[in-house]
Each structure stands twice: as structure tokens, then as C-alpha cells.
Structure 1
Amino acid sequence: MTDYFINAFATLFVTIDPVGLAPMFLAVTAGLSAADRKRVAIRATVTAALILLVFFVAGQSVLTVLGISVSAFRVSGGILLFLIAIEMVFGKRQQRKAETAEKAVEHHPPADFHEVAIFPLAIPLIAGPAAISAIILLTGQAPDTLTYIGLAGVIVVILASCLFSFLLADRIERLLGDTAQLVITRLLGVLLAALSVQFIADGVLAFMKP
């Protein structure tokens, strides 16, 4: 059970990357007051939490209705996470996130901070395809109800980290600097690559079982 929770925390933390969201938050909330930034942070986190909750509760049911086996989703989800890991290792993911943030600023001026909280902060920066896939994969691996409830706690901790990162975004950016952020992103990318390969291997082995 301990190994499962460590794996779940590592997968979600690397996939969502609360620390890496700090500069994106600063970019899309430029020109807002401290009070408005706090509102955006809370709204974005709550919205992302609701989206992830839907897939946490109903993700397996959605797969069943669509006729998709958990093993197939493990393989496909693992491939998706592996592609994101490659982006992280080669420094492409932060660039893509920055472009998403810039587009949001162009389409939603500072006055429209409610829209900015939904897009791009809640979707896709927090509750993106990778995070949703990871949650469905992890719920499929939960062996019992107690572990399932524990996974919910892990998700809450990750979301709380996102909120904390938003509220302290300016300090985090000054503390880490560009070089440290690049190093951390690449290291987390290597970790995510290993985790994604494990997901794929588990799915393939499940397919091979008689």
C-alpha cells in the first residue's frame, strides 16, 4: 500500500507539476491585484478539483461503457505520459505551457480573471489530459476501498500544492530561477518516463494473461 501511494503521489505531482505552474500563473494574472490573484488561484484550484473528481469517481465506469479494458487504458495512458515525459526532458513542455498562457492573456484581458481561472489554469494546466489519464490509471490499480480513499487524499494534497504554488508564485519564481526550473523539470521528466513505462508494462502483461 505504501508503494502504491508513493507511486500515485509521484505520478500526479510530476504530471500536474505544481511548482512549474507558478510562472504560468504569474503570466496569466499579470496586472491583477493581490486580492484578484487570490480569487483566481482559489477558483482555478476548485474547478480543477471538480473536474478531476468526476474522473476519479466515474472514470472506470466511462471505460466500461465505452468497452475499453483497464489494460488497454494502461497502455494508452502510459504512452501519453511517456510523450509528456519526453517533452519535459527536452524542455518542450514548459514552452508549450507558456504558449498556452500567452494565448489566454491575448484572449482574456486582466479584467476577465474569472475566465482565466477556468482556461488555461484549471483546464488544461491542472486538469489536463495527462492528469485525467493518470487518475483513471491509478484508480484502476487501487486494490481495495481503503486504498481508493487514500488516493483521494493524495489528489487533495496535490491540488493543495497547486493552490500553495499559485499563492506564492512570485516567491517561487524568484527562489528557483530559470536554470533551477529547467533542471527540476528534466529530472521529473526522467521519473515520469520510468513510471509511464511501468504502466505500459503492467498493461501488456495483463493482456498476455490467459
Structure 2
Amino acid sequence: MWSFDWKEALSATMVLFAVIDIIGSIPIIVDLRKKVGHIQSEKASIVATILMIVFLFVGKEMLNLIGIDVNSFAVAGALIIFFLAIEMILGIRLYRDDSPETASIVPIAFPLIAGAGTLTTILSLRAEYQVINIIIAIMLNAIFVYGVLKSSGKIERMFGKNGINVVRKIFGVILLAIAVKLFASNVMGLFQ
């Protein structure tokens, strides 16, 4: 549980980075900033980090409480990640949310950063990686997310819309591969 491994930590960091997709969310963040004025970057980053770490430790127990096993949750998570990847690759929106009135905890911390896909992935990572490596991955992503939230306007100008779309599609393909691997490694557990 507490055995540190750089390779695991880096792998978990990349998986979470792809799922959170903060670079791909820059157009959403810029649009929110235009609608509500100020985005509370610190508050959103801290709340999202706390949500992810709490779910890492109590997510499995919460599932057990309602009678869902980890394999079922992982397969459901694989499907969510699959649809997120399809959205990223094809540039379509399968899930639409109402327009927010503020931009800190909702919708930035949840569901943009620590949404269903992220929480599902964290629980799935727990089945494969040591907890300390996942915590390091969460912290590294939180730092990166904070940086992106603080400088989203500059990043959008630097990459341009086309550059952000290319990055989003690349991470969409990575997410698709993660979804297939997660599905394949957990679907047999449903029938045992």
C-alpha cells in the first residue's frame, strides 16, 4: 500500500492527466471566465484534490455499502472513460450540463476536474497501483490543474484553438486505450 515506485507514480499521473483533460477543458474554462468573471483557482484545485483523495480511501467502502463490487465499478468506469474519449476524439458532447452561475467548486472542482470519470479511474488505479503512488499522481495533477486554471487565457493564446484540439484528440486516443485495457482486465471478474 505504501511502497513508492516512480514508474507507477508516473503512469498513474499520466492516466489521471488524460482523464482530467484540463488542457482540453481550457475552452470551457475560458468560456466560464467570460460568463462569471473570476475563477477561484485555489479553491477549485483544493476541493478537487480533497475529493479525489477521499474517494481513493473510502470509494471502495462506499461501493460495498451499496452492494457494488470493484469489478462492476471498473467496467462502468471503463465505459465512462470510453465515452469521454469518444467526445474528445470526435469533438462531440454526449453530456450537457446547465450553465453555471459561479466558477469554483461547481462546475470546476466537480465535475470538470474530479468528475465521474476521474473518480472511477482513481478507484480503478487503486486495484493496480500502490496508494502512495496514486496520491503522488493526484497531487502532481492538482498542481498542474492549478497552473492551468491560473493561466488559461495565456495557454489558449499560446496553443490556439487548433493546438488545443490536437492535444485533446491525442489524449482522447490515450483514454480510449485505457478504457479498453480497463474493460478487458475487469470484465471477466463479473462472470466469476
Q: Same fold (TM over 0.5)?
A: yes
Partner SS for 2:68? coil
Partner residue, 1:68: 68
- The reply to whether residue 125 of structure 1 matches residue 112 of structure 2 is yes
- The reply to whether residue 157 of structure 1 matches residue 140 of structure 2 is yes
Compute the displacement of 1:139 (Å): 1.3
Compute the displacement of 1:45 (Å): 0.8
Match of 2:126 among 135, 139, 144: 139
Equivalenced residues, count: 188
Compute the displacement of 1:3 (Å): 5.1
Compute the displacement of 1:152 (Å): 0.2
- Alpha-carbon distance between aligned partners in 2 of 1:120 and 1:59, rounded to the nearest angstrom: 21
Partner residue, 2:27: 23
Compute the displacement of 1:84 (Å): 0.9
Compute the displacement of 1:4 (Å): 3.6
- The within-5 A match list for 1:167-206 is 167-206=150-189
Larger % of helix: which? 1
> Are 1:21 and 1:165, in contact at CA under 8 Å, matched by a contact in 2?
no
Partner residue, 1:166: 149
Partner residue, 1:111: none
- Alpha-carbon distance between aligned partners in 2 of 1:56 and 1:171, rounded to the nearest angstrom: 33
> Are 2:10 and 2:137, in contact at CA under 8 Å, matched by a contact in 1?
no
- Alpha-carbon distance between aligned partners in 2 of 1:11 and 1:65, rounded to the nearest angstrom: 27
Compute the displacement of 1:47 (Å): 1.4
RMSD of equivalent CA atoms = 2.3
> Are 1:14 and 1:192, in contact at CA under 8 Å, matched by a contact in 2?
yes
- The within-5 A match list for 1:31-46 is 37=39, 40-46=40-46
Identity across the alignment (%)? 27
- The within-5 A match list for 1:48-127 is 48-93=48-93, 100=97, 103-104=99-100, 108=101, 115-127=102-114
Partner SS for 1:133? helix
Partner SS for 1:103? coil
What per-residue deviation string (whole Å, max 9, x for no partner) do you get for residues 165-210 of structure 1? 011111100011111111111111111001111001110243466x
- Alpha-carbon distance between aligned partners in 2 of 1:32 and 1:67, rounded to the nearest angstrom: 40
Gaps of 5+ in 1: 109-114
Partner SS for 1:18? coil
Gaps of 5+ in 2: none
Change (3 A) 1:31 1:137: closer
- Alpha-carbon distance between aligned partners in 2 of 1:204 and 1:3, rounded to the nearest angstrom: 26
User: Normalization by structure 2: what TM-score?
Assistant: 0.87
Partner SS for 2:103? helix
- Alpha-carbon distance between aligned partners in 2 of 1:129 and 1:49, rounded to the nearest angstrom: 14
Q: Which has the larger radius of gyration?
A: 1
Compute the displacement of 1:26 (Å): 2.4
> Are 2:75 and 2:186, in contact at CA under 8 Å, matched by a contact in 1?
yes
Partner residue, 1:112: none
| Equivalent AA in structure 2 for residue 23 of structure 1 | P
